[in-house]
Amino acid sequence: MTSKFDALAYTKRLEDAGVPRDQAEVHATALTEVVGEFVCRQDLLRLESSLRHDIEESEKRVVLYINVVKTELTAKIDRMDAKIDSVDGKVDSLRREFEARFKAIEHDLTVSRCLSGLIISLNIAMAIKIFFP
């Protein structure tokens, strides 16, 4: 925004107060340069509005990005859950298969023990019959 400073009127006022014209002109020139650097209220309001708009736009982009990342992560987690479920199913299947095999081996060992006991009993019976007719 342009400054409303009137250097000519300022110079005239200084002269009327008794300041020599040369000094009044130097004061007016210096003050004109300084006043040109000041920011008025409307400039600040425009800047504030612009900044608020930029912040809102940035916030929208961040929220959108977060939602995209959230969606991607959710999809990845779902895929990992599916893989884990698949592995869990395979592990359960292998566990049941091993349990069945162990039960079969346990059964075979029980039968082997019984047969071994029978063979030992028969051998003892035969030995008794041979040595004690």
Q: Could you read off the pLDDT of 27-81 as tens digits, one per residue? A: 888 888 877 777 678 888 999 999 999 999 999 999 999 999 999 999 999 999 8
pLDDT of residue 2: 52
pLDDT of residue 105: 93
Q: Which amino acid is at 97?
A: E
Q: Give CA torsion, residues 99, 103, 108, 109, to 10 deg.
A: 100
pLDDT of residue 55: 96
Q: Is the Cβ–Cβ distance between 10 and 31 less than 8 Å? A: yes
More confident residue, 6 or 50: 50
pLDDT of residue 3: 55
Task: Compute the half-sphere exposure of residue 37: CA atoms within 13 Å on the CB side of its CA.
Answer: 4
Which of 2-11, 16-25, 105-114 is predicted with the least confidence, judged by mean pLDDT?
A: 2-11
